Structure 1
Amino acid sequence: MAVATINSQELHNKINSGESIFILDVRNPSDFNDWKIEAKHLVSVNIPYFDFLEEDDAVYQGLPKDTEIVVICAKGGSAQMVAEQLDEKGYHVSFLEFGMLEWSQFYNPVTVYEGENMKLIQLNRLAKGCLSYMVISGGEALVVDANRHVDEYTKLAVSENVQIKHVLDTHLHADHISGGAELAKATGAQYYISSSEMQGATGLDYKPLEQFDALKVGAVEAKVLAIPTPGHTPGSTSVLVNDQFLLSGDTIFVGGLGRPDLGGKAREWAQSLYDTVFTQVANLSDETVVLPTHFADIKEINENGYVGATLGAIRASNEVMRTENREAFTEMVAGASGATPPNFEEIVGINRGDIHVTPEKATELEIGPNRCAVHHS
């Protein structure tokens, strides 16, 4: 009897159900330590595939007989072989059919808000820590920071019975490939991004976001205000929806601020980020709900199932948001940037429309976690 396979949606459902589940990741330790499946109540261990080739029973010690074991590898092949060995020894086992490659492309939509005139959905690409949004009103939709799998958005639009009218990127993404321009083309929508992000690129058809004070979504206006929030990148723009929800891009996270070093101007862009925090964002109410484009820790998913927090809570818990001394702020932000996202120069080129790659190459370029946040507790 063949060992059972499981797909990403099924795995996510099991994790969310609270069902007891044990993940055995058989990739190399360095790959596991860099990037793995995480959840609040998930047991995950790493035993490399080659350890199971030694026919040493010690490798099985600690593996549960009374809990389902889901075996994970990069693309599924190694996980299947280990799962078959475990099955022969009487373990309750399945394996993620296409491994982390499949998990990296899984999206989970969660409704953040639903009222009489508006619905706001967050799409969480869990493996990448990438978040995108659909704002719905009056049969129309605005999509913010779409990832490259555009069918996730078109399918959602069909299920919500809405037409996508506007697509915008809050900034030029460096750690994942944007689907903004492609989604706009596929749906007949208009694509927006700040012109300063494009640096003269001519490969994409876009409207300069800074030319629009507000965008109208639906018969009833969902108030969308573009607020310049430079710092992570010079043209970063946050979107304020109905004076209540700040789609903050990579400017403000639940646990930190956007890193300012990816353009090689860490201190200069940190100064811009200071002005954003203490001028632009300072005027917003503590009750404003911040909805970022990335998260770095599974703990940032709140009890309602989405990544977001009030601006007041973020100000209270985040030291750098309260550091009003400009020099101290600059040192904290510019000095805490961490590892550069892999392949970021090529990804930026793709997102400007200067470089074109196959879907297979795009998947390869995106593998790994996001590294766009500077976290300060």
Structure 2
Amino acid sequence: MTVKEMTVQTLTEKVLNKEHLVIFDVRNESDFHDWKIEGENFEYINVPYFELIDGVDSVIGRLPKDKDVVVVCAKGGSAAFVAEQLVEAGFDNIYTLVGGMKAWSEHLHKAKVYEDDKMKVYQFIRVGKGCLSYMVISGNEALVVDPSRFIDVYEQVAQEEGVAITHIVDSHLHADHISGGKALAERTGATYYLMKSEGAVFDFEPLEKHDRIDFEQVQLEVLAVKTPGHTPGSVSFFVNNQLLFSGDTIFVGGLGRPDLGGKAAEWAADLYDTVYEKVAAIADDVIVLPAHYANLDEEMSKAGYIGDTLGNIRARNDMMQDKKKQEFIDIVVQNANTETPPNFEDIVAINRGLKAVDMEQQQELEIGPNRCAMHHTR
């Protein structure tokens, strides 16, 4: 009997459908506890691979035979070795995750967010990483928001939709993943926009020069200089007075972290002004679409995308409700010692154009969860 394989696409559907599944993770305990495949109805067993090299007898009693079991490791090889032994031991419900956690980290799931007679909007959910990117389609053109480095995905969707990617925007200089903005612009000839204050050293179109970007039947407002808080040049994009691409400023379950630059109090004051002045003027029924999420089960809408109305987000988040400025700053500073995104200094240097790494190094740098938010501040 051969070992069955499960792709990241199939596993994503199981996560979204809230199916029951057993994840048998054979990575080291520290890696497992730091970052694992999250599913609302998933069960977990973690036994490091080195404990299973000489046989799987020690875990046979812990594994069910009436539920599907997916064996997971970093890249797939160790899991396949363990799975083969389990099949030989009589299990017929064993799968390996093709490509392991590396593949899980890199998969983008496309979901439709919005459609009317002027535009169509897709969200790309990087399920294993908690990162979100978007494509806004109108007429024969498309704009991409916060693209990941997997630019083939956006090009494929543009081709399927019969449109050209003409505009690319990054809401800020990302700290937990490598942006695909520059590479996608080079491939497509699109204009790439970024805040000059973020310190990138390559050629781009500074958002400081644009209060808005218009194409076809879309009007994208760049919320003026701008919506700082997570980084000093962090911006939000308000599209057709209906959608707010909030970057890492506002999340479904929290606010962006202003402590990554070592200026927690100063940038928290900026974040306060953003929340209580600029965002306060936006209507409750506007749909907020962030650049990250923390918990898929809690933050996914019934429509199948990550986002919510601004009114619902305000109602849940007491940091957005009648806080005095100093009180707000004090809370942020008190929470400023949480873990930083793994390798964030290297990733920021790459996104600024100050450092170049090969594909394998990019994969290694991005491994792990995102930690860009003060999540669930209620």
Shorter-chain TM-score: which interval?
Answer: over 0.9
Deviation at 1:170, TM superposition (A): 0.4
Cα distance change, pair 55–186 in 1 and its aligned pair in 2 (3 A): closer
Match of 2:258 among 254, 257, 260: 260
Encode CA deviations 1:42-93: one digit per residue, 9 max, x unaligned.
2233222233346474422231101111110001111011111111122211
Give 1:70-89 correspondences, 5 Å limit: 70-89=70-89
Question: Does residue 187 of structure 1 match 2:183?
Answer: no
C-alpha separation in 2, matches of 1:109 and 1:56? 38
% identical aligned pairs: 52
Deviation at 1:94, TM superposition (A): 1.1
Query: In the alignment, is the contact (CA less than 8 A) between 1:25 and 1:73 conserved in 2?
Result: yes
SS in 2 for 1:312: helix
TM-score by length of 1: 0.95
C-alpha separation in 1, matches of 2:106 and 2:73? 15
C-alpha separation in 1, matches of 2:22 and 2:79? 14
Match of 2:220 among 217, 221, 224: 224
Query: In the alignment, is the contact (CA less than 8 A) between 1:232 and 1:273 conserved in 2?
Result: yes
Other-structure match for 1:308? 307
Encode CA deviations 1:324-362: one digit per residue, 9 max, x unaligned.
211110011222131111211111111111111111111
Query: In the alignment, is the contact (CA less than 8 A) between 2:247 and 2:290 conserved in 1?
Result: yes
Encode CA deviations 1:298-321: one digit per residue, 9 max, x unaligned.
221222221101111111111111
Query: In the alignment, is the contact (CA less than 8 A) between 1:259 and 1:334 conserved in 2?
Result: no
Question: Does residue 242 of structure 1 match 2:243?
Answer: no
Other-structure match for 2:326? 327
Query: In the alignment, is the contact (CA less than 8 A) between 1:260 and 1:334 conserved in 2?
Result: no
SS in 2 for 1:237: coil
Cα distance change, pair 241–95 in 1 and its aligned pair in 2 (3 A): same
Question: Does residue 13 of structure 1 match 2:9?
Answer: no
Query: In the alignment, is the contact (CA less than 8 A) between 1:15 and 1:21 conserved in 2?
Result: no
Deviation at 1:250, TM superposition (A): 0.3
SS in 1 for 2:215: coil
Encode CA deviations 1:215-257: one digit per residue, 9 max, x unaligned.
1232xx2121000100111111100111011000000011111
C-alpha separation in 1, matches of 2:324 and 2:283? 21
C-alpha separation in 1, matches of 2:310 and 2:339? 27
Cα distance change, pair 323–57 in 1 and its aligned pair in 2 (3 A): farther
Cα distance change, pair 210–46 in 1 and its aligned pair in 2 (3 A): same
C-alpha separation in 2, matches of 1:109 and 1:20? 22
Give 1:32-51 correspondences, 5 Å limit: 32-51=32-51
Deviation at 1:38, TM superposition (A): 0.8
Structure 2: which 5+ residue stretches go unaligned?
none
Match of 2:269 among 265, 268, 271: 271
Deviation at 1:214, TM superposition (A): 1.4
Encode CA deviations 1:86-142: one digit per residue, 9 max, x unaligned.
111222111012100111110001000111221011100111100001001002100
Cα distance change, pair 357–284 in 1 and its aligned pair in 2 (3 A): same
SS in 1 for 2:106: coil
Give 1:1-377 correspondences, 5 Å limit: 1-53=1-53, 55=55, 57-91=57-91, 92-198=93-199, 201-202=200-201, 204-218=202-216, 221-227=217-223, 228-298=226-296, 299-337=298-336, 338-375=338-375, 376-377=377-378
Alignment: residue pair count: 372
C-alpha separation in 2, matches of 1:311 and 1:235? 22
Deviation at 1:18, TM superposition (A): 4.9
Q: Which runs of 4+ in 1 moved over 4 A?
A: none
SS in 2 for 1:24: strand
Instruction: Report the residue type matching 1:313 in the other structure.
Output: N
C-alpha separation in 1, matches of 2:135 and 2:45? 35
Query: What's the Cα RMSD here?
Result: 1.4
SS in 2 for 1:78: helix
Encode CA deviations 1:267-320: one digit per residue, 9 max, x unaligned.
000000000000000100111111100011122122222110111111111111
SS in 1 for 2:250: coil
C-alpha separation in 1, matches of 2:16 and 2:6? 15
Encode CA deviations 1:7-42: one digit per residue, 9 max, x unaligned.
211222344445442211111111111111112232
Query: In the alignment, is the contact (CA less than 8 A) between 2:18 and 2:40 conserved in 1?
Result: no
Encode CA deviations 1:139-162: one digit per residue, 9 max, x unaligned.
210000001111111111111211
TM-score by length of 2: 0.95
